[in-house]
Structure 1
Amino acid sequence: MLPYATLLTVDKTTATPVFVQISDQLHQLIQAGTLSAGQRLPGTRQLANLLGVNRQTIVAAYDEGLVQGWLESRSGSGTFVAMHLPEVKPQPLAETETAINQQPGYTVETHPALHRPLLINSGGLTLDDGFPDVRLAPMAELARAYRSYFRWGNPQQHFGYADTKGHPLLREQLSRHLNETRGLQTTPDNVLVGRGSIMGLYLTCQTLLRPCDVAVTGETTWAGATMNIRQTGATLLTVAVDEHGLDVEALAALCARQTVRLVYVTPHHHYPTTVTLRADRRVRLLQLAEQYGFAILEDDYDYDFHYLSRPILPLASADRNGMVVYVGSLTKSVAPAFRVGYVVAPTALIDELARLRRIIDRQGDQILEFAVAQLFKDGDMKRHFRKALRTYHARRNYFCNLLSTELSDRLTFQKPDGGMAVWAQFDPNIDMPKMVERAGQAGLFLSSGLTHNPPGRQLNGTRLGFASSTEQELEQAVAVLKRVLYPTPTPPR
């Protein structure tokens, strides 16, 4: 007989009933091949004595196995492992046991384009990619709006399946907000609410691009966009970006040579360099889209924060022929945890995006979307934008002054007209990864900027986010950078 007293263990301190523990362990022994098909199990009294439990516990464990089909009972003969189970050869014991295998037993194709560092805020000093200060988020107002959800309307409607395009109240409020602030001419039918702008980019790329297509971005651009384009199998080409934004004449020359299906741009504050696409280039880009029939995917990730003057209206505001797909998000305006983004486009595309969205995410977070809609409706979101704009404007000025006075001979930058980060290019002799490593050891997180490098070029630049830090925190962060960048205790002023 097998050493059941050793193979089966009972832990009476856990919440799992003892008969379930025994039943599960028997199943595991069968699956491992330790117990083979047709093998007779000990009698209930015998096994109860071996394990020191009540006989009825063993009866319950056997009954569980009978119900699940692992065991079978033969009248007058006892309980056996079911005969219909396939033969399993016992596997040799590994030197170390793990909770789950690190590698599957089947082939998994990896996509190099998807290998991108995951940004997680671990606290402490940070000059991030350009994130909002979550401490400014209207938390009390959001909590109040959450509570109102449970008192409003029909509960069956609230907690059942809903529109794949997003909560109707939020689509209505977003349409109104975008029309008022961005000069768009939309209805709620032109709006799809998703989980951040990244979902909007994914849905749009998957819908518009095929492996035979060509998509174009600037040679410096957001990695999240290039990942989505490459994932479709489309060919990705780039054109230059200068101090006035995307080089649209280079794009025109490219379009004259081959068919372009989609152009991805961040015209308000180009990512990562923060430059604004000049007015004449905006007009020319729309003309090229109409002439050559490509879609413009406009990512307006930080429209709400422009300090020089009124924000420049998006391309979508001047689009009269349905060439622009406009994508935005509240994750940069409020907090990354608020996974609320939107796509604005002609209704035929919105309908198709909603059909695709349904197979990966049946619907969004209805409670969050309702609560955010209430913030727009009650004016709380506008008040938050005004407060955040004043705060980030002051932080931009303070941070740029610190960089100029403390680090001027180690990096160069242009004071950004808007956004939440400074594009800083460091002295070519500075090893960016080593600098970032030393800064991390001193308690400051920042990016090495390697992901911003075009193929074959070393920009030695990175984005230094200022919006998420107070002036005191920015001062401390620059002090750390100063210690890292200057080898002498008293650097020259």
Structure 2
Amino acid sequence: MASPVSIPFTSFIVLERSSATPIYLQLVTQIINAIQRGFLVKGTPLPGTRTLASVLGVNRNTLVVVYEELEALGWIEIVPNKGAFILQQTINRAEKIPSSTKNFTIAYPSKTGYDFEKSQLLDTPFENSNHTLILNDGIPDIRLLSIHQLTQSYTSSLKRKTHQNKNDENPQNGRIYFKENLSNFLNLTRGLHISTKNLLITRSIEMGIYITSEILISRGDKVIVGELSYFTPNMIFQNSGAQLLTVPVDSEGIDVDAVQKLCENNKIRMLYLTPHHHYPTTATLSAQRRIELLRLSQIYGFIILEDDYEYDFQFGNNQVLPLASADTEGMVVYIGSFGRSLAPGFRTGFIVAPENLIVEMQKFISILDRQGDTFMDYALGNLIQEGDILRHIKKTSLIYKERRDVLAQLIDKYLNEWVNYTLPTGGLAIWTRWDASINLMKLREDCLKLDLHIPKHLLYQNLKISAMRIGFGSFTPQELEFIIHKIFKILRKS
């Protein structure tokens, strides 16, 4: 049997670092594929996480998550003090694993032989990093998940013959089952009054925004966004030919008076906002402004595109309902995510809108995502029906609230000389306002030397503002203290 170190992993594992698919999921998928193809046979010992991380050029913590996921899925066995071993029997063993592509006589072309238009609008600011700690703008912690429960739900969906029969008859049956349960879930938790006819399932919130933009925005249309707003929707709107107009954002959300002034002098097609926790400032749109926005939309005829990406993460006793729950004139298109606190593969997006718009949107889905994932739809529907998702949200909300409070206490303890903030009522990030004398890009460079990566898109600094959005959801209290103390050490030296 070959030594685990001698296995040419780089010959069958190729990571696409620019892909939207997380690195750990790419690794899980490609290792399973290698087992199925016979590259890794039953009983083969896998290298230690540190060794394989070095070979593949990824963070060791990523490999730890990968091994845990593979074990939960039944592809490997982790034996304490001995290592990880392949469990799955092979199907067809490959005769030879190519060690490189240098033996190929003809290389695949590196460039096209024709011209095409390149988009500069869709260049995202995301960065790849192999540092031990990487700040983010507020993402859930997948370590809080019961991977076994998720995989069991999906596996049971695969094994049920009734589902298989339905799948043979109509691939959309799983989608219908999920939509029935999701519409009930949204009515119960978000104060909506919808049926399956008002619901469209998408792969993500971004997909929902893209479809909405393609259908409702024409070249030259004017779209209002916050002066500070989420870059991805802005890029999508501009790519559709929209002209963006900005309005200020304060502690009560977007400035409604500024919206009205724009409407008085312009034909506004759409207003995009994230009312529960405005991105990036985390401000919650006040009740008075919500009512006023609905009134203005009826008077001036503009669409309200409500992006409710963080609804599940509210920590107060009085939860704020979406604008869509009070919309009686069909002016709001409500976009959200289901299962954002679950593993990436189990997350999905949705659009809520009047039936005639959903019918038109369904045409796009039929092209972009015709087949979908029938068994995943059954699994997600089952998580709702059995109450598992509600229990998970309630449990993790307490943990995220604790982490928010810990981060606030650490900022008070270490950074109060340079940083101010307002404690958010929900979400997974704190918007921090920094002393203008602090060069945030220089701070970022100094943090990199201490193995702490602060992505550029978290930093907001110009003549008018000096701020940073710090996510806390994916870090334990110990990790948060480690991060803030590193920043403190740098600031104290400077």
- Post-superposition shift, 1:154? 4.6
The 5 A counterparts of 1:35-46 are none
Partner of 1:276: 284
Partner of 1:474: 480
Partner of 2:240: 232
Q: 1:98/1:236 Cα in 2 relative to 1: closer, same or farther (>3 Å)?
A: farther
How many equivalent pairs are there? 390
Secondary structure of the residue aligned to 2:438 is coil
Q: TM-score, normalised by structure 1?
A: 0.75
Q: Please say if 1:373 is aligned against 2:378.
A: no
Checking the alignment, whether the CA contact within 8 Å between 2:139 and 2:471 is kept in structure 1 is yes
Partner of 1:355: 363
Tell me, in whole angstroms, the C-alpha distance in 2 between the residues paired with 1:255 and 1:142: 47
Partner of 2:405: 397
Q: 1:183/1:121 Cα in 2 relative to 1: closer, same or farther (>3 Å)?
A: farther
Query: Structure 1 residues 138-147 or 405-414, which shifts more?
Result: 138-147
Partner of 1:423: 431
Secondary structure of the residue aligned to 2:382 is helix
Checking the alignment, whether the CA contact within 8 Å between 1:448 and 1:462 is kept in structure 2 is no
Q: 1:483/1:277 Cα in 2 relative to 1: closer, same or farther (>3 Å)?
A: same
- Post-superposition shift, 1:123? 7.0
Partner of 1:345: 353
Partner of 1:382: 390
Partner of 1:137: 145
Q: Please say if 1:439 is aligned against 2:447.
A: yes
Q: Please say if 1:196 is aligned against 2:196.
A: no
Secondary structure of the residue aligned to 1:180 is helix
Partner of 1:149: 157
Can you give the 5+ residue segments of structure 2 that lack an aligned partner in the other structure?
A: 1-10, 12-104
Tell me, in whole angstroms, the C-alpha distance in 1 between the residues paired with 2:179 and 2:130: 33
Tell me, in whole angstroms, the C-alpha distance in 2 between the residues paired with 1:481 and 1:159: 57
Q: Please say if 1:296 is aligned against 2:304.
A: yes
Tell me, in whole angstroms, the C-alpha distance in 2 between the residues paired with 1:337 and 1:438: 35
Q: TM-score, normalised by structure 2?
A: 0.75
Checking the alignment, whether the CA contact within 8 Å between 1:142 and 1:372 is kept in structure 2 is no
Tell me, in whole angstroms, the C-alpha distance in 2 between the residues paired with 1:98 and 1:411: 58
Tell me the percent identity.
38
The 5 A counterparts of 1:15-54 are none
Tell me, in whole angstroms, the C-alpha distance in 2 between the residues paired with 1:122 and 1:330: 29
Tell me, in whole angstroms, the C-alpha distance in 1 between the residues paired with 2:313 and 2:262: 33
- Post-superposition shift, 1:177? 1.0
- Post-superposition shift, 1:149? 1.1
Q: 1:130/1:167 Cα in 2 relative to 1: closer, same or farther (>3 Å)?
A: same
Which residue identity does 2:164 align to in structure 1? P
Tell me, in whole angstroms, the C-alpha distance in 2 between the residues paired with 1:189 and 1:122: 45
Checking the alignment, whether the CA contact within 8 Å between 2:223 and 2:271 is kept in structure 1 is yes
What per-residue deviation string (whole Å, max 9, x for no partner) do you get for residues 356-411 of structure 1? 12222214222222211111111110110011100000111111000111011122
Checking the alignment, whether the CA contact within 8 Å between 1:133 and 1:468 is kept in structure 2 is yes
| Candidates 225, 230, 248, aligned match of 1:222 | 230
Checking the alignment, whether the CA contact within 8 Å between 1:327 and 1:341 is kept in structure 2 is yes
Tell me, in whole angstroms, the C-alpha distance in 1 between the residues paired with 2:266 and 2:275: 23
Partner of 2:40: none
- Post-superposition shift, 1:145? 1.1
Secondary structure of the residue aligned to 1:173 is helix
Q: Please say if 1:158 is aligned against 2:164.
A: no
Query: Structure 1 residues 239-248 or 149-158, which shifts more?
Result: 149-158
Which residue identity does 2:172 align to in structure 1? D
Which residue identity does 2:236 align to in structure 1? N
Tell me, in whole angstroms, the C-alpha distance in 2 between the residues paired with 1:98 and 1:409: 62
- Post-superposition shift, 1:106? 1.8
- Post-superposition shift, 1:174? 1.1
- Post-superposition shift, 1:333? 2.8
Checking the alignment, whether the CA contact within 8 Å between 1:304 and 1:311 is kept in structure 2 is no
- Post-superposition shift, 1:415? 1.0
Checking the alignment, whether the CA contact within 8 Å between 1:126 and 1:469 is kept in structure 2 is no
Q: Please say if 1:244 is aligned against 2:252.
A: yes
Checking the alignment, whether the CA contact within 8 Å between 2:131 and 2:453 is kept in structure 1 is no
Checking the alignment, whether the CA contact within 8 Å between 2:140 and 2:473 is kept in structure 1 is yes
What per-residue deviation string (whole Å, max 9, x for no partner) do you get for residues 197-243 of structure 1? 11111111111000031111111111111011011011111111111
Secondary structure of the residue aligned to 1:342 is strand
Which residue identity does 1:433 align to in structure 2? M
Checking the alignment, whether the CA contact within 8 Å between 1:129 and 1:465 is kept in structure 2 is yes
Q: 1:160/1:118 Cα in 2 relative to 1: closer, same or farther (>3 Å)?
A: farther
Tell me, in whole angstroms, the C-alpha distance in 1 between the residues paired with 2:458 and 2:428: 20
Tell me, in whole angstroms, the C-alpha distance in 1 between the residues paired with 2:458 and 2:136: 14
What per-residue deviation string (whole Å, max 9, x for no partner) do you get for residues 116-166 of structure 1? 1236685732331100001112322211111221233152532676339x7
Query: Could you say which structure has the larger radius of gyration?
Result: 1
Q: 1:481/1:161 Cα in 2 relative to 1: closer, same or farther (>3 Å)?
A: farther
Partner of 1:487: 493
Tell me, in whole angstroms, the C-alpha distance in 1 between the residues paired with 2:283 and 2:317: 14
- Post-superposition shift, 1:315? 0.2
Which residue identity does 2:465 align to in structure 1? L
Partner of 1:333: 341
The 5 A counterparts of 1:100-115 are 100-115=108-123
Q: 1:296/1:451 Cα in 2 relative to 1: closer, same or farther (>3 Å)?
A: farther
What per-residue deviation string (whole Å, max 9, x for no partner) do you get for residues 238-278 of structure 1? 11111111111111111111111111010110000000111
Partner of 2:419: 411
Can you give the 5+ residue segments of structure 1 that lack an aligned partner in the other structure?
A: 1-13, 15-96, 489-493
Q: 1:355/1:182 Cα in 2 relative to 1: closer, same or farther (>3 Å)?
A: same
Secondary structure of the residue aligned to 1:464 is strand
Partner of 1:462: 468
Tell me, in whole angstroms, the C-alpha distance in 2 between the residues paired with 1:159 and 1:212: 45
Tell me, in whole angstroms, the C-alpha distance in 2 between the residues paired with 1:120 and 1:373: 34
